[in-house]
Amino acid sequence: MNRLKGNVLSDRSKFILLFLFLLAFRLSFGLVQNFFDTDEMQTYLIGLKCFTTHTWPYFGPDLIVTETGYYSQIPGPLEGLLIGLPFYILPIPEAPLILLNLLSLSALALLARAIYHRVPAVPFLFTFALVSMIPWNLHESTSIINPSYLLFGSILFFIGFLEAVPSLTTYWFSPRVGFVLMGFGLFWDMQFHFSWILLPPFIFFALFARRKEKIRGAIKSLIYFAVGLLPVAGLMLPTFLKYGWSQGAGGAGTAQFFNPHNFIALPLVLIRYFYLACFELPRFLGQHTQQRLDFLNQSPWLWPPTVFLLLMSGVQFVIFMVVGWKFWKSGKRTPVYLAFGTLLLVWVSFWFTYKEPLAHIYYVLLPVILLYSIQAYEWFAKAKLWRRLGFLCLVASVWLWGGYIIQEFKAPLSLYSNRAKAVQAIDQKDYRILGERRPQSLY
């Protein structure tokens, strides 16, 4: 018994050390991302305005459709509160990023645990490190921009979904808690990005999957769903009371009756969809080839991990496709139904918008793809070669993105290119020192 207790404590210590390392690494990464770029600055200003003026942030992210010039703001105060309130505890420019990275990494730890319950052959600590270090999560959940806050809500939503569906549950907690988490996650994400519209089909599916409970069971599930949404949905009430429903709702402004270009874009959607869980690098190292080469040539010691991870990203994609076929042939089809069914949902959703099927629009669905990726790796978990390759991928990621942190620290748009300006705005309680909100903004 003492030996077992010691092992448990040892595993806990390893988790704590890994959590602290990942928190420090991801926070450092977020701090050197674009800060003075327009969208990032406008996001930061919403929270800074909340803090310096002591006003309620009725609206969150700006929605600008470049194709049409359409502009609106997403209703709800969560973005402003999550950025503004940390200044009361720690009045330094980095405060909102500390909270953001605590939220996103804690959610990733929960996701890793949920995956481990389903794929115990892949070690929990490896899963946690992997999902925390993939490029999409490093770049989309560590810096002050509205999609960074999606990860927290979407992970809670999908953990709840997995436990609410009888064929997917591990009985980690009751289906009632699952519906509570779905309600909370949906209305959390609703205040950060219009991609929340991809989530309701999962709620309907969870209700359908529990149809044996009949009407009474469905009503109970919806009551628990309502319990989950109340804390975050209630925060939106002041916006609708002050501005009314039509102005408060904002509107998507991107709808189209039918888009034939997106209809034939299934191969492109498929590649982008599964690359969310890969070591995708080109889009994150520069906007075009020359910019990426310039980045690497400035630090030639980053070439080896870059080439290695590029190769491994291709291997990962092939694994996802081949293992999907193996799942299907072996009769273990639940992972295929969930992953490829979600892909079908993404594809169909783009039939009715003129927006290109860009991957960041369905980043909200990343937990589903990450679960599928670890289920695919389970086929190779017992082979030493593949375990070593997995470890090398993590080492190469730390190597590459650690170099990225060093190189971007004094970049022209980094916080540390002019941190004093942000400090002054906080100290003098005047967000305008840092910048003005967009002229058409409601908050």
Quote the tokens at residue 178: 């699952």
- Asked if residue 138 is part of any domain, the answer here is no
Q: How many domains does the chain have?
A: 1
Per the domain annotation, does 437 fall within a domain? no
Which residues, other chains included, contact 237 with Cβ-Cβ below 8 Å and sequence gap of 6+? none
- Alpha-helical (H) ranges within 191-288 are 200-209, 214-233, 237-249, 260-263, 266-275, 282-285
Domain range for 325 is 255-421
Rounded CA-CA distance 135/108 in Å is: 14
pLDDT in tens, 31-40: 999 999 999 9
Could you read off the pLDDT of 232-245 as tens digits, one per residue? 999 999 999 998 88
Residue 151 to residue 30: CA distance in whole angstroms: 15
In this structure, is residue 42 part of a structural domain?
no
The whole-number pLDDT of residue 10 equals: 80
Angle between helices 214-233 and 200-209 (to 10 degrees): 150
pLDDT of residue 318: 96
DSSP state of 436: P
Q: Confirm whether 185 is domain-assigned.
A: no
Which residues, 6+ apart, have CB-to-CB distance to 437 below 8 Å?
A: 42, 45, 46, 49, 443
In a domain, 206, yes or no: no
The pLDDT assigned to 63 comes to: 85
Question: What is the helix (H) or strand (E) element at residue 196, kind and residue range?
Answer: none
For 53, half-sphere exposure in the C-beta direction (CA atoms, 13 angstrom radius) is: 15
| Residue 352 identity (one-letter amino acid) | F
- Give the model's pLDDT for residue 223: 97
* Three-state DSSP class for residue 441: coil
Query: For the chain, which residues score pLDDT lower than 50?
Result: 1-6
- pLDDT value for 5: 47
**C-alpha triplet 194, 199, 203: angle, nearest 5°:** 145
Q: What is the pLDDT of residue 241?
A: 92
Tokens coding 232 = 């975050």
Is residue 125 assigned to a domain? no
- Is residue 323 in a domain? yes
Quick check: is 56 in a domain? no
**pLDDT at 69 (0 to 100):** 66
